[in-house]
Structure 1
Amino acid sequence: MPRLLALFVFLCGNQMAAHAGLAIALNSADGTLSLIDTDSYKVTGKINVCKEPHHLMPTPDDKSLIVACAASNQLVFYDPLTGQEQRRIRDISDPYQIGFSPNRKWFVATSLRLDRVDLYDAADFRLLARLPAPKTPSHMAFDDASQFVFITLQDSNEVMAISLPTQKVAWVMPVAATPAGIVMSPDNRYLLVASMGEGVVEVIEWRARKSVRQIATAKAAHNLQPKGDGRHFFVSNRTIDGSISLLDTQTMSVVEKYDVPGGPDDMMVRADGKELWATARFARKVQVVDLVSKQLKLSIPVGSSPHGVFFLNHAGLR
């Protein structure tokens, strides 16, 4: 009887662990990952990963979470449910921001430090093309047809379009100062570019290469994250006394704003739409915003200069 009871407890415990929510925050300055229980909001562990992990994203099948290690030139794959390391791919030169094309054919990495963009085969991460970028390539977005990847160039105040089929630069155009985050609008018509230097989101009709509007958010508008309703995007305004704005892509206006101190940067929305998680780069915290009350719910202490944050149970891409 005791052995049966012990087996029952073991199985139940494993089932509970399998269903527990796990969030992973990258601590760029520490070179670590913080593992956070999304139910208790407690840090359950910290893992040494590499030098300068800045961004992370799931593989298209959601079976792995890729951490891009810029200074150590590698990609590290983790189980998004347990946080266990799966494998490493080395000789990926200076991967700062990473992304898969919608058709899952291309894997793109921006090399912010070395001023270039690398195109890889998404199936085996084989380098296909290495393209020079004018200055400090940062974030990226794709069109729905996977014909182009668009890259923000922070220090030359430009956006660059790369043709994926030809693996060549298609065009470069000027935008507002210090562009960082960039996303495609839900209708695939506009690029939305967050400008840190001017505190705006610039709306670009990318097929015509024309800027059509600048939407004021707040100082140091940095990154964009879809709410998951096919209409709204959150915009992080990365200052010490920072904030997060909610942008409506139908009216092209800011409809809400939340006080989120500490330099809010990368964000993620829980699948139920009730919480927004944001890393606070200057405060060593992950900030959790209650989207029902529209107030900061709590702060989770993590490591130094937290950048990317991810959990599997999140809202959709657009």
Structure 2
Amino acid sequence: MRLSVPARRLHAGLLTAAMVAATPAHADNVVILNSAEASISLIDPATKQVVSKYSVGKEPHHLMATPDNKSLIVANSVSNSLFFLDPKLGTIQRRVENIEDPYQIGFSPDNRWFVSTALRLDRVDIYRYDGRDLTPAKRLPLPAMPSHIAFTRDSRTAFISLQVSGEIAAIDLATQTLLWKMKVGPAPAGLWMTPGDKYMLVGMTGGDYVAVVDWRQRTVVKRIHTGRGAHNFRSLVDGKHVAVSNRVESTISIIDEDALTNVGDITGLMPGPDDMELTADKRYLWVTFRFARHVGIIDLTTRQLVATIPVGRSPHGIYFYNRAPLTAPNGA
């Protein structure tokens, strides 16, 4: 995949053979982004050991696979770059420079649009995607601190959480224009669409709950108490439940997407649970602990933390290739 943009702004190139060779070829490595030390840790899921660690750009926070699953994109927000990795091995394929402040990234469900939130620059960058190239479409100012992204299943609308103003913004992707903004609560972060796009769930990092938003009527219809610092979501792939990490409470809550209730909390965790991934057998939930320099593994049958793995400072994004599929288009 290459970017169709002026050469003076973007330069894509292969990394040196020495850098690539520094990451050993273990099958299906777990990729962990250590956002505070500009590095990636690779974990062998069989041995639960870090098998390699290498440097990337400053503040790698979020990541996602390309639609063809041939690359894993890592967004380095402070270094203004994207790294493309082999999604199975975690080895570096190439990098793209001068993508300004890519914090959260996402492809629309129809794969026509690539959206990047610029958290420190207070804007959203929208690109057209044709299956091979990314072409800049629009830079849309959105103060302040746009962070997480969700899409409607028809790919008409992208939603962006605005952490400072306590709002959600809706963007029309076809015209790349702001449709509306609405207040939802203190420091909104993660966004999640319930089945059929009926409601949007919003993690209130400045509160202790998830807001249930009727986005068509632009109203908050319910608050689901979870824990302090409700932050990000991960589907449990059963068609009914989604997990939300409570970063300050240091718990994970399980939400029933139909009843819109908290049906149980996972406790006994390390400080700062954040991003999560689910194993293909749906039994284990992996989670990064932002404040503890560790990754944890939770057995969902007992809801107990069964293993912890030391990694780098402020681990954030997590990915492994043999992942359970999501039931909604907006990923972790």
Q: Structure 1 residue 174: deviation in Å?
A: 0.3
Q: Which residue of 2 aligns with 1:6?
A: none
The one-character-per-residue Cα deviations of 1:121-165 (angstroms, maximum 9, x if unpaired) are: 223222110000021000010000000000000000000000001
Match of 1:145 among 138, 149, 154: 154
Q: Which residue of 2 aligns with 1:185?
A: 194
Q: Which residue of 1 aligns with 2:126?
A: 119
Q: Secondary structure at the match of 1:130?
A: strand
- The alignment-based identity, stated in percent, is 50
The answer to whether residue 260 in structure 2 is matched with residue 249 in structure 1 is no
Contact conserved, 2:122 with 2:144, CA < 8 A, in 1? yes
Q: Which residue of 1 aligns with 2:31?
A: 24
Larger Rg: 1
Q: Structure 1 residue 19: deviation in Å?
A: 8.2
Normalising by structure 2, report the TM-score.
0.89
Q: Which residue of 1 aligns with 2:244?
A: 235
**Structure 2 residue identity aligned to 1:290:** D
Contact conserved, 1:229 with 1:316, CA < 8 A, in 2? no
Q: Secondary structure at the match of 1:126?
A: strand
Distance, in Å, in 2 between the alignment partners of 1:303 and 1:120 is: 32
Distance, in Å, in 1 between the alignment partners of 2:255 and 2:281 is: 19
The answer to whether residue 139 in structure 2 is matched with residue 130 in structure 1 is yes
Q: How many residues align?
A: 301
Distance, in Å, in 2 between the alignment partners of 1:82 and 1:157 is: 39
- Structure 1: segments with no counterpart, 5+ residues: 1-16
Match of 2:100 among 78, 89, 93: 93
Per mean C-alpha deviation after superposition, the further-off stretch among 182-191 and 142-151 is: 182-191
**Structure 1 residue identity aligned to 2:161:** T
The answer to whether residue 208 in structure 2 is matched with residue 199 in structure 1 is yes
Distance 1:248 1:145, change over 3 A: same
Contact conserved, 2:26 with 2:89, CA < 8 A, in 1? no
Contact conserved, 1:21 with 1:39, CA < 8 A, in 2? no
The one-character-per-residue Cα deviations of 1:54-81 (angstroms, maximum 9, x if unpaired) are: 0011111111100001011111100011
Distance 1:159 1:115, change over 3 A: same
Q: Which residue of 2 aligns with 1:286?
A: 295
The one-character-per-residue Cα deviations of 1:166-225 (angstroms, maximum 9, x if unpaired) are: 110000000011100001112211110000112111111111112111100011101111
Normalising by structure 1, report the TM-score.
0.92
For 1:39-50, what aligned pairs fall within 5 Å after superposition?
39-50=46-57
Q: Which residue of 2 aligns with 1:5?
A: none
The answer to whether residue 98 in structure 2 is matched with residue 72 in structure 1 is no
Q: Secondary structure at the match of 1:187?
A: helix
Distance, in Å, in 2 between the alignment partners of 1:77 and 1:132 is: 27
Q: Secondary structure at the match of 2:197?
A: coil
Distance, in Å, in 2 between the alignment partners of 1:125 and 1:51 is: 23
The one-character-per-residue Cα deviations of 1:93-142 (angstroms, maximum 9, x if unpaired) are: 10000000000000000000000000012232221100000210000100
The answer to whether residue 280 in structure 2 is matched with residue 271 in structure 1 is yes
Contact conserved, 2:166 with 2:188, CA < 8 A, in 1? yes
Q: Structure 1 residue 21: deviation in Å?
A: 3.0
Root-mean-square deviation (CA, aligned residues, Å) is 1.3
Distance, in Å, in 1 between the alignment partners of 2:300 and 2:222 is: 27
